Amino acid sequence: MGVGVLAERHDDVESSPQERILEATFKVVRERTLSALRMPLIAKVAGVSSATIHYHFVSKANLLQALSDWLLAALAELRIVPTGRQAPSGDTPAEKLDALLLFQRMLCDSDGRGMLRVFYDFWVQAAGGSREDAVRMHEHFGLYRDQIRQALGYDEHWFQDPDRRINVAIALSLLEGGPLQSVVDPAMDVDAYLDRVKDLMKSLTTVSVPK
């Protein structure tokens, strides 16, 4: 994978046909949305024939499923090691929170907003699409909720406590809401937003321990 904020490739390593097709599909969806996706346009952007696309991806649905997997894997990877920078390391909740906020800051950059436009397009499609699409998005948010739980300093039994359960949902909304707003309004003060989110998330750690 290799589009802007996604993973960078070394120049001396040639990408596979599948990678070129997925990168081209990402570019097309980013600029035109999923509903406007056309195989001939993908072929033109990728520099391959339509027959080559159908050889590697038997249908448009199969290609979109591969693109969804590719995008979710890129998001998960960036949460661990953002492109060009090592994420804050360590085991404390404060360090984990810093890593999450660094990831969110990257998503609000120009390349990140392009990735988010595609992500939100899949999100909307999953809401009214197939069960498989909905399950995949649910699993993605499940992994993200677990990272937030750790950043809040909650143990693995957090789900048994109503206060902690709602706090994780609130934190997830705060972290996802900022990048979404930056897509709609690129002039948004992202740093000020994330500073406030950090303060609010710190306050969410002051809950009673489940009995």
For position 87, what pLDDT does the model report?
A: 43
- Each residue of 135-193: pLDDT tens digit? 777 777 788 888 888 889 898 889 899 999 999 999 999 988 888 888 888 888 989 99
| Predicted confidence (pLDDT) at residue 109 exceeds the cutoff of 60 | yes
For position 91, what pLDDT does the model report?
A: 67
| 142 domain residue, yes or no | yes
| 7 domain residue, yes or no | no
How sure is the predictor about 206, in pLDDT bands with cuts at 50, 70 and 90? low
How many whole angstroms separate alpha carbon 44 and alpha carbon 127? 30
User: What are the CA-CA distances from residue 73 to residues 29, 77, 92, 122, 154 (Å)?
Assistant: 17, 6, 25, 14, 25
Find out whether 105 and 197 touch, Cβ atoms under 8 Å: no
The 3-state DSSP class for residue 126 equals helix
| 209 domain residue, yes or no | no
Which CATH number goes with the domain that contains 190? Answer: 1.10.357.10
Q: What is the number of domains present in the chain?
A: 1
| Predicted confidence (pLDDT) at residue 12 exceeds the cutoff of 60 | no
| 141 domain residue, yes or no | yes
| 4 domain residue, yes or no | no
User: What are the CA-CA distances from residue 125 to residues 64, 201, 211 (Å)?
Assistant: 11, 30, 41
| 210 domain residue, yes or no | no
Q: What range defines the domain where residue 143 resides?
A: 17-203
For position 130, what pLDDT does the model report?
A: 67
Both tokens of residue 155?
Answer: 């143990």
What contacts 127, CB < 8 A, 6 or more positions away?
134
For the ranges 62-71, 145-154, 189-198, the one whose mean pLDDT is highest:
189-198
Provide the whole-model pTM: 0.67
Selection from 128, 132, 78 nearest residue 106 by Cα: 78
- Each residue of 23-53: pLDDT tens digit? 999 999 888 888 888 899 999 999 999 999 9
For position 197, what pLDDT does the model report?
A: 93
Selection from 178, 169, 120 nearest residue 144 by Cα: 169
| 71 domain residue, yes or no | yes
| 192 domain residue, yes or no | yes
